[in-house]
Amino acid sequence: MSLLSLLFDPRGAIDRRAFWSGLIQLTIVSLAVVVGLTVVDMDVAWAALPAVGEAWVLSDVAGHLRHAAPPDVPLIAGVFLVAARLYATACLMLKRARDAGKRPHALIVLGLASLLVHVLVGFWVYDLFPEGMAIIAPLAADAMVTAVLGLVFTTWLGALRSSPASGPARSWRLSPG
């Protein structure tokens, strides 16, 4: 299975080893994007980091809404980076859940819980926005809560054994093409 199909194709199933390998690969890619974008625009670079990226984009969205400003290129790029990383993570988790014989309900609940945290913190940031540095507290809370939710779910999912009913899982190997 190629790296692109591992990260961006929701079909199939993967074993525990492929799941953890995929998460490590995704983290390395995210860090490489951060380093590469630091030269271009630091505001966009922050969006590539797991947990921090969502909070960073959230503050940017709240600032644009507060000032009734149209979205600019850094905001759009940040939203794109967060969406791409979340999609790749969801693909990995769906494939892993399928291999473990689990339905995607838990992943949907995690996504909705994280979205609820982001929306609630977004309202908090929106109210505090003219206060300047005061928005750091809600952004830190957002990053910590969603990181803990994600870490607990990822550890649980990554620890599950493969289900015999799911059939053979495809292990990930970097293959040409």
Encode pLDDT of 55-67 as tens digits: 888 878 877 887 8
Other Cβ atoms within 10 Å of 70 Cβ, number:
6
The pLDDT assigned to 125 comes to 76
Percent with pLDDT over 70 in the chain:
89
Q: What angle do CA 112, 126, 67 make, to 5 degrees?
A: 125
162 located within any domain: yes
175 located within any domain: no
Label residue 166 by pLDDT band (50, 70, 90).
low
Tens digits of per-residue pLDDT, 63-93?
788 788 888 888 899 899 999 999 999 999 9
Helix (H, G, I), strand (E, B) or coil at 76: helix
The pLDDT assigned to 177 comes to 46
The pLDDT assigned to 19 comes to 94
128 located within any domain: yes
Please state the domain count of the chain. Answer: 1
Between 38-42, 123-127, 141-145, the lowest mean confidence (pLDDT) is in 123-127
101 located within any domain: yes
58 located within any domain: yes
**What is the mean predicted confidence (pLDDT) over 119-130?**
77
171 located within any domain: no
Determine contact, residues 12/107, Cβ cutoff 8 Å: no
Q: How many residues does the chain have?
A: 177
- Which whole-number Å values give the CA distances from 119 to 4, 35, 116, 139, 161, in the listed order? 31, 28, 5, 12, 34
Label residue 20 by pLDDT band (50, 70, 90).
very high
The pLDDT assigned to 151 comes to 93
Residue 168, pLDDT > 70, answer no
139 located within any domain: yes
Label residue 39 by pLDDT band (50, 70, 90).
confident
The pLDDT assigned to 50 comes to 82
Dihedral over Cα of 106, 110, 112, 116: its sign: positive
Label residue 174 by pLDDT band (50, 70, 90).
very low
Residue 104, pLDDT > 70, answer yes
177 located within any domain: no
Containing structural domain, residue 13: 3-166
The pLDDT assigned to 111 comes to 87
